[in-house]
Chains A and B, each alone.
Chain A
Amino acid sequence: MVTPLLQVTNLRKRFGAFTAVDDISFAMKPGEILGLLGPNGAGKTTTIHMLLGLITPTSGTIRMFGLDLNEHRETILSQVNFSSTYISMPQSLTVEENLWVVARLYGLAEVARRVDLVLEQLEIADLRHKVMRHLSSGQLTRVTLAKALLTEPKILFLDEPTASLDPDIAQKIRVLLKEVRRSSGVSILYTSHNMREMEEMSDRIIFLQRGRIVAEGTAREIVARFGQADLEEVFLKLARESRHET
């Protein structure tokens, strides 16, 4: 049996009377792409924030690489990275300057080589000397992805990484992520509202609804279990149920 790279056990987060994440447990294997799916407010982003140590769980444990996040924050966070449409980077710095800052934060060696490589990988080498505030939203997304890949993480958290990209670039990013997974064996926890993308990318999907896991398996297994035509239909069914209950 393969030891999970990420092991979440009975994770719960309450903000006062509101329960954002309710007793969820899951694991992620090395090299796996795990999709986290659910309507707005299902607890996906809160879960990712807890995994990144930005929010303290109310209860439960998070273990990565066999270590407890609470006790080994520095060791764990130096081996993970993330990208999200909801974050930004200093706007007055150039792309290259930003990447150098990240490299120093993570104590990377051979920074120049890694920066060159990641800029080439994401096809943004021409943006190297551009100030961030002059980039389009699609270019910004690629730079935040570059930031995430620069540190060669073992686990990558991607919160809607292709949300603001045109279909062509989004497709290139998906191909790139699969290639990175193949070559480096990185494990990816992925959220998206694009169901086709989720089906294409994920080895396994976890469906969250009102903070709870309501389904887990491959896209095909989940579609079959809910008796719907495709993943989008499952999503719509669960999202509407969720709204009715609230």
Chain B
Amino acid sequence: MKLHRIFALLTRHLYLYRRSLPRILEIFYWPFLDLVIWGFITLYLARAGDHLPGMVMFFLGALILWDMLFRSHQGITISFLEELWARNLMNLFASPLKPGEFLVATMLMSLFKVTCVAGVMTLCAAAFYSYNLLQVGLWLIPFIVNLVLMGWAIGVFTTSLIMRFGQEAEVLAWSMVFLFQPISCVFYPMDVLPPWLHHLAMINPAAHIFEGLRSVVNTGTAPVERLAWAFGLNGLLTVAVITWFYQTFAYCKEWGLLVRVGE
């Protein structure tokens, strides 16, 4: 075993970090998120004590719905990355294909993935834990629609960043959505958050969906107000990220990044 060869490989990897902010950030990203999310869950459990009606059941439902958001985001970003890895972007954008058509195709692909994942997870939850997600009732439909819409919005935003910064930024395809998890209040209610984070959660559509889910599961209350917030915020978010996508696309064409994005 030669130390110089081991050192050569070590430097090869460290060189990557020297010029790559996304890689450096990723080292701290996951531990930070774990700490934040599990910290709030602990706080919630400590405060609630024995008064947690249907907590375990709620966790399973929340987990399945969160995964739908995650998959809808990933459906968009991975479809883009597939083209990037295949060095196929030039073939696509030198064809009559419009950027909007490209987005719609990735969204449909994402919908396909969400449907598969939702089916498998619902069946597994029923088989292993006798948990029936459908007990949430028809509210499930607007909940899922909103989570998918938000996943798309984050996915389109992430895709724009990858298009702009190239493969350097591809780590965002997996990690970006988790940035929203602490303020989505998936496993704990919004009022566990400190005031400044509470304000951020209020402008996050997913937080309203999970609050709505809690109110349906725990008290059977109709989450109309929460859904109105979620639909409104998702509408704004969708318009904003699509505008951002088109602007980034124009910027990439201006600077020739579209033909170099695979590098």
Q: Footprint of B on A, CB under 8 Å?
A: 15, 46, 49, 52-56, 73-75, 77-78, 81-82, 84, 87-92, 102, 105-107, 147
Question: Do residues A56 and B250 form an inter-chain contact, with CB atoms below 8 A?
Answer: yes
B50 in the interface, Cβ–Cβ < 8 Å? no
Question: Do residues A77 and B96 form an inter-chain contact, with CB atoms below 8 A?
Answer: yes
Question: Do residues B94 and A89 form an inter-chain contact, with CB atoms below 8 A?
Answer: no
Question: Do residues A15 and B255 form an inter-chain contact, with CB atoms below 8 A?
Answer: yes
Q: Which residues of chain A come closer than 8 Å to B253, judged between CB atoms?
A: 53-56
Partner of A49, one of B88, B250, B256: B256
Q: Which residues of chain B come closer than 8 Å to A105, judged between CB atoms?
A: 92, 95-97
Q: Which residue of chain A has its CB nearest to the CB of B93?
A: A54
Question: Do residues B94 and A82 form an inter-chain contact, with CB atoms below 8 A?
Answer: yes
User: Top 3 closest A-B pairs, CB basis?
Assistant: A88-B87, A52-B94, A90-B86
Answer whether A89 and B96 are a contact pair too, CB < 8 Å, given A55-B253, A55-B259, A56-B253.
no
- Report the separation of the CA atoms of residues A102 and B94 in the bound assembly, to the nearest whole angstrom: 11
Q: Footprint of A on B, CB under 8 Å?
A: 82-83, 86-88, 90-98, 250, 253-256, 258-259
Q: Which residues of chain A come closer than 8 Å to B96, judged between CB atoms?
A: 73-75, 77-78, 105-107
Question: Do residues A89 and B86 form an inter-chain contact, with CB atoms below 8 A?
Answer: yes
Q: Which residues of chain A come closer than 8 Å to B83, judged between CB atoms?
A: 90
Question: Do residues B98 and A56 form an inter-chain contact, with CB atoms below 8 A?
Answer: no
Question: Do residues B86 and A56 form an inter-chain contact, with CB atoms below 8 A?
Answer: no
Question: Do residues B91 and A147 form an inter-chain contact, with CB atoms below 8 A?
Answer: yes
Partner of A87, one of B82, B90, B250, B255: B90
- The SS class assigned to the B binding surface is loop
A-B contact pairs, 30 of them (CB 8 A): A46-B256, A49-B259, A52-B90, A52-B94, A53-B93, A54-B256, A55-B253, A55-B256, A55-B258, A55-B259, A56-B254, A74-B98, A75-B96, A77-B94, A77-B95, A78-B96, A81-B94, A82-B94, A84-B90, A87-B88, A87-B90, A87-B91, A88-B88, A90-B86, A91-B86, A92-B86, A105-B92, A105-B97, A106-B95, A147-B91
- Report the separation of the CA atoms of residues A222 and B119 in the bound assembly, to the nearest whole angstrom: 68
Question: Do residues B86 and A88 form an inter-chain contact, with CB atoms below 8 A?
Answer: yes
Q: Which residues of chain B come closer than 8 Å to A52, judged between CB atoms?
A: 90, 94
Known contacts A87-B87, A107-B96; 8 further A-B pairs (Cβ under 8 A): A15-B256, A53-B253, A56-B253, A77-B96, A87-B88, A90-B88, A105-B92, A106-B96
- Report the separation of the CA atoms of residues A90 and B83 in the bound assembly, to the nearest whole angstrom: 7
- Report the separation of the CA atoms of residues A49 and B94 in the bound assembly, to the nearest whole angstrom: 8
- Report the separation of the CA atoms of residues A87 and B255 in the bound assembly, to the nearest whole angstrom: 19
- Report the separation of the CA atoms of residues A105 and B96 in the bound assembly, to the nearest whole angstrom: 7
- Report the separation of the CA atoms of residues A90 and B86 in the bound assembly, to the nearest whole angstrom: 5
Answer whether A54 and B91 are a contact pair too, CB < 8 Å, given A89-B86, A105-B96, A106-B96.
no
Q: Which residue of chain B has its CB nearest to the CB of A74?
A: B96
Give, as a whole number of angstroms, the nearest-CB distance from A94 to chain B.
Answer: 14
- Report the separation of the CA atoms of residues A52 and B258 in the bound assembly, to the nearest whole angstrom: 12
- Report the separation of the CA atoms of residues A15 and B90 in the bound assembly, to the nearest whole angstrom: 19
